[in-house]
Structure 1
Amino acid sequence: MQDKQQRAVDSKTQGFVQGLWGVRYQVKDVRRSIAFYTQTLGFNLDQQYLPAFGQVSIGNLKLILSGPGASGSRQMPDGRLQEPGGWNRVVLQVQDLPTHIAGLKKQGVHFRNEMEVGPGGRQIQIEDPDGNPIELFESVGATF
């Protein structure tokens, strides 16, 4: 009986997530961030409500840019502030990573590290203007 009740509870709680909406980054200047993502990385501008909010996309990825004053940037009840930066990051798939690294360096993009090579491919971390990390990843055709 308990197993049947547990399955009933599981069926009510599982499946409430309908899918991935996007990734939210905290930024200090939404206009500057929109320019970086659209002009430097080739994202599309979906919407902007300056100075608080912008949304850019590429492929199936929506990147929500929350500036000061946006509902997605408000202080937590325990007093913590939502800030840019950290180590969790969006991973963008690219081809010919070394060529893109050279081009981004010429544009003055900030790099967190040098290109790393592993069994699945090669990657490097860059930062948007507010210090939010972005990983550029090139698969070498490994199967996982």
Structure 2
Amino acid sequence: MFAVRYFVKDVSASIKYYSDAFDFELVQQYGPAMAILTKDSLTLWLAGPASSAVQAEKKVNPDIMPGFNRIVVLTDDIKNVTARALDCGGRVRIDIGSGPTGEQSILEDPDGNLIELFSSRP
């Protein structure tokens, strides 16, 4: 099993964002510290300021910032998924562009973590 962990400012707000914008399902929430969500075969761990992961990282990096890691959400309707993500509080970092394998855009969640939307060519 694999999982991606994002550091977030507010676990409850992040659960709502990922559930509403991308149809993630909440598996378990550990109060304000941590939540586990799934979407298809992806497991996403949302770690809030009270989580042990954030507390450990702050010891070596007091200025934790979202990194350039990102999850990729595969979709057949990149325009509507982008619009829904924006309505839920996300931001466009790189607008929809086209390449040899399909279309992609890069969004930011409300905490600045990156999400790539990708729609492959038929």
* TM-score, normalised with respect to structure 2: 0.88
Alpha-carbon distance in 1 for matches of 2:34, 2:50: 8
Output one character per residue of 1:90-118: Cα deviation in whole Å (capped at 9) or x when no partner: 11100121232334444453111111111
Query: Does residue 117 in structure 1 map to residue 95 in structure 2?
Result: no
Contact 2:89–2:109 at 8 Å: present in 1 too? no
Bigger Cα displacement from structure 2, 98-107 vs 127-136: 98-107
Alpha-carbon distance in 2 for matches of 1:108, 1:68: 20
* TM-score, normalised with respect to structure 1: 0.75
The alpha-carbon deviation at position 81 of structure 1 amounts to: 3.5
How many residues get paired? 122
For 1:32-51, what aligned pairs fall within 5 Å after superposition? 32-51=13-32
What amino acid is aligned across from residue 42 of structure 1 in structure 2?
A: D
Unaligned runs of 5+ in 2: none
Answer 1 or 2: higher relative contact order, Cα 8 Å, separation at least 6: 2
Which protein is bigger by CA-based radius of gyration?
A: 1
Q: Percent identity?
A: 38
The alpha-carbon deviation at position 84 of structure 1 amounts to: 4.3
Partner of 1:26: 7
For 1:1-144, what aligned pairs fall within 5 Å after superposition? 20-76=1-57, 79-81=60-62, 83-141=64-122
Residues 42, 77 of structure 1: CA spacing in aligned structure 2 closer, same or farther, 3 A cutoff?
closer
Alpha-carbon distance in 1 for matches of 2:110, 2:87: 15
Unaligned runs of 5+ in 1: 1-19
